[in-house]
Amino acid sequence: MSGMYNAHRGMVPQPRVNDLFDQLRQEYEAQQTRIAEYEHKLQQQLQEIEAVRQNVFNLENIHSSIKQKYEEEIARLNRELESRNVHGHAAAPQPPQPAPPSIGHGPRDLFGGIMSGQGGQGGPGLAPPQQQQPSQQDQQQSQPPHIPPPPSNIQLPPSQGQQPGPGGYSQPFMNGENRAVQRLVDVRLTPGVGYNNQPPPQPIASPGAKPRARPPPGPGTPQQGNPPGPYQDPRGSPNNITRPTPPPPIPAAVSNNLADIDPERVPASQRKEGNDWFAIFNPRVPRQLDVDLVHTLDHHSVVCCVRFSADGKYVATGCNRSAQIFDVSTGQKVTTLQDDSVDRDGDLYIRSVCFSPDGRFLATGAEDKQIRVWDIANRVIKHTFIGHEQDIYSLDFARNGRHIASGSGDRTVRVWDIESGQNVLTLSIEDGVTTVAISPDGKLVAAGSLDKSVRVWDAHTGYLIERLEGPDGHRDSVYSVAFSPNGRELVSGSLDKTIKMWELQRGVPSISGTPRGKCIKTFEGHKDFVLSVALTPDGRWVLSGSKDRGVQFWDPQSANVQLMLQGHKNSVISVAPSPIGGLFATGSGDMRARIWSYETYHQRPL
């Protein structure tokens, strides 16, 4: 009995164990099959993603090729039309055809008009606003398509009915590389419609440089109400401010549009006036600031840029062929830095200047594609950085004193090492770079572009961290960027007439792509392009300069404008706060830089 029982006990579990093993084996094989299927699907998805990326890349190449062919065909047709008009002498001038999309804004070659200072009817784009409603044909003739000029080494005659640009070149002849570059110069130094729609001033020629040889110009821009004659000096009549007939009474809600307000109708506590300037304080918000003019720094050409030294004792300006340094306390010129080895023919505008943190050096970026680092005390060039292929529009010194970031129309941002004299980082984008800034901690580089976006990179690795754009982003080219003092926010100014404040994530991009910082504020109130933005060193105020000739102070917490300052007779191209606070500088197309003070407003007792 016992033997049978033991034998029975030994036989029963064997099939069950085999069944269990078979079940486990089947489950394992099924799991392996599922894993293989998942891996296969994942591989397919990766291949599809790669195919999409390749298609996008191919489409971009095709688009670029079509765009280039289109531009070449336009240039060929223009040359053929010009040849027929020149040799036939019978072809009547025809209204210009609409320009291809996304080329530019506004009248052509306004930069060239300011720079050359042509008199009479030859000043392209500088005619004052018309005083009556023009016909449709007149509008087409007075607003030709915005097409930039060719490189300066190509000699081409001007087309019929078109104004010559810088160097006397006709606008339709251009190439793709010059498109992004010239769009900058078309806007940044253009006289705009100012406060209360005042007409733009008429700048004079910039002395100190021999004029370039120019072919015979085409018909002049129509000018109504102004007889032909030399342009007037925009610095004239300093003792009064020309104002049009007062507008209707102030509406109940003026919002941030202070330019719509007649200063004569503003209470005395909400305005301040000097000999040739005035400020209006927003009547809808409590007045917190007072401003005053400290110094006027006259120049012989357009002032393209202004920048304070780190200790706030000096301010540098960039103009035609030279950079100048002024003592902030006295307003006296300390030194002029000019490269005498450069050909003296024609113009050579200094588009950007910046001091090294220790104040020993000044970096300048110019139209000749070179960055010069000057030893200020000895007035000699310590370094010359060559590598950009187009004009340099913006420079910024890192606070470590060793690195300089530069932005150019050649679609690159470059970082240069002062000690080694080398280009240590090159960042390429799809369109011209208009502005660059290095974060206070030196870890980030930001750049604004003609493509409406702001990019932020890791300054050491060159890795793209953020791309600020999208539905809440700018609707037109970005012309100025500035970091907040804590480095956590960034402000940008654009041709869409707005300023935006972005909250930076400063994180590592996720697998799904580059994270985009959040637009936390939009500042609206300027009447024309915003050309320059900055923040005060305490982060309390955002400053902006515009083609509407105004400077505005904004509260970054509420996005309300605190004040509007009208102190120039042409576009305010550059604004810069003093790093020690209490002062700011402005540079303008009216051939002046100015130093202003700002302080907390204390209402006077009655």
How far apart are alpha carbons 376 and 294 in whole angstroms? 24
Give the tokens for residue 582: 């209490």
Give the tokens for residue 239: 């003792």
Model confidence at 102, in pLDDT bands (50, 70, 90)? very low
**According to the model, what pLDDT value does residue 273 have?**
94
The per-residue pLDDT for range 316-337, each reduced to its tens digit, is: 999 999 999 999 999 999 999 9
**According to the model, what pLDDT value does residue 236 have?**
46
Query: In this structure, how many other beta carbons lie within 10 angstroms of the beta carbon of residue 411?
Result: 21
Sheet arrangement for strand 561-566: 271-273, 278-281, 561-566, 550-554, 542-546, 530-535
Q: Taking residues 430-455, report their average pLDDT.
A: 97
How far apart are alpha carbons 547 and 532 in whole angstroms? 10
Give the tokens for residue 10: 């030994």
Which stretch of DSSP H or E encloses residue 80? helix 13-88
**According to the model, what pLDDT value does residue 223 have?**
32
Least confident of 180-184, 476-480, 549-553: 180-184
Model confidence at 69, in pLDDT bands (50, 70, 90)? confident
**According to the model, what pLDDT value does residue 391 have?**
96
How far apart are alpha carbons 407 and 394 in whole angstroms? 5
How far apart are alpha carbons 93 and 101 in whole angstroms? 23
Q: Collapse the DSSP code of 41 into the 3-class scheme (helix H, G, I; strand E, B; otherwise coil) and give the result.
A: helix
Are 303 and 573 contacting, i.e. CB atoms less than 8 angstroms apart? yes
**When comparing pLDDT for 126 and 11, which is higher?**
11
State which fold the 304-428 domain adopts.
Methylamine Dehydrogenase; Chain H (2.130.10)
How far apart are alpha carbons 349 and 325 in whole angstroms? 16
How far apart are alpha carbons 45 and 39 in whole angstroms? 10
pLDDT at 367 over 90: yes
> Going by DSSP bridges, is the β-strand pair 278-281/572-577 parallel, antiparallel, or unpaired?
unpaired
Average pLDDT, the chain: 78
pLDDT at 17 over 90: no
Length, in residues, of the chain: 606
**According to the model, what pLDDT value does residue 200 have?**
52
pLDDT at 32 over 70: yes
The per-residue pLDDT for range 556-596, each reduced to its tens digit, is: 999 999 999 999 999 999 999 999 999 999 999 999 999 99
Are 492 and 499 contacting, i.e. CB atoms less than 8 angstroms apart? yes
Q: Taking residues 92-109, report their average pLDDT.
A: 38
**According to the model, what pLDDT value does residue 453 have?**
96
How far apart are alpha carbons 164 and 173 in whole angstroms? 11
How far apart are alpha carbons 420 and 385 in whole angstroms? 11
Least confident of 87-96, 413-422, 464-473, 497-506: 87-96
Each domain of the chain, given as residue ranges in start order, spans: 57-126+133-190, 304-428
pLDDT at 446 over 60: yes
Residue located via tokens 């120049």: 299
Give the tokens for residue 533: 């933005």
**According to the model, what pLDDT value does residue 20 have?**
86
Using a 10 angstrom Cβ sphere, with 0-12 exposed, 13-18 middle and 19 or more buried, the burial of residue 266 is middle
DSSP structure class, residue 7? H
pLDDT at 407 over 50: yes
Q: 176-188 and 13-88 helices cross at what angle (nearest 10)?
A: 70
**According to the model, what pLDDT value does residue 383 have?**
96
How far apart are alpha carbons 87 and 601 in whole angstroms? 68
How far apart are alpha carbons 145 and 255 in whole angstroms? 34
**When comparing pLDDT for 281 and 173, which is higher?**
281
Residue located via tokens 């129309």: 409
Q: Taking residues 241-251, report their average pLDDT.
A: 47
How far apart are alpha carbons 315 and 606 in whole angstroms? 38
Are 149 and 169 contacting, i.e. CB atoms less than 8 angstroms apart? yes
**According to the model, what pLDDT value does residue 23 have?**
86
pLDDT at 507 over 70: no
**When comparing pLDDT for 512 and 352, which is higher?**
352
**According to the model, what pLDDT value does residue 235 have?**
47
Residue type, 307: R
CA 271 vs CA 261, 446, 566, 585, 595: distances in Å:
11, 36, 11, 20, 19
pLDDT at 245 over 60: no
Q: Taking residues 146-152, report their average pLDDT.
A: 39
Least confident of 172-181, 314-323, 421-430, 540-549: 172-181
Model confidence at 226, in pLDDT bands (50, 70, 90)? very low
pLDDT at 48 over 90: no
> Going by DSSP bridges, is the β-strand pair 350-355/433-438 parallel, antiparallel, or unpaired?
unpaired
Model confidence at 79, in pLDDT bands (50, 70, 90)? confident
**Secondary structure of 318-367 as H, E, C letters:** ECECCEEEEECCCCCEEEEECCCCCCCECCCEEEEEEECCCCCEEEEEEC
**According to the model, what pLDDT value does residue 517 have?**
83
Residue located via tokens 């505005």: 552
**When comparing pLDDT for 150 and 269, which is higher?**
269
CA dihedral 492, 498, 503, 507 (to 10 degrees): -50
pLDDT at 142 over 90: no
Are 328 and 355 contacting, i.e. CB atoms less than 8 angstroms apart? no
**According to the model, what pLDDT value does residue 25 have?**
87
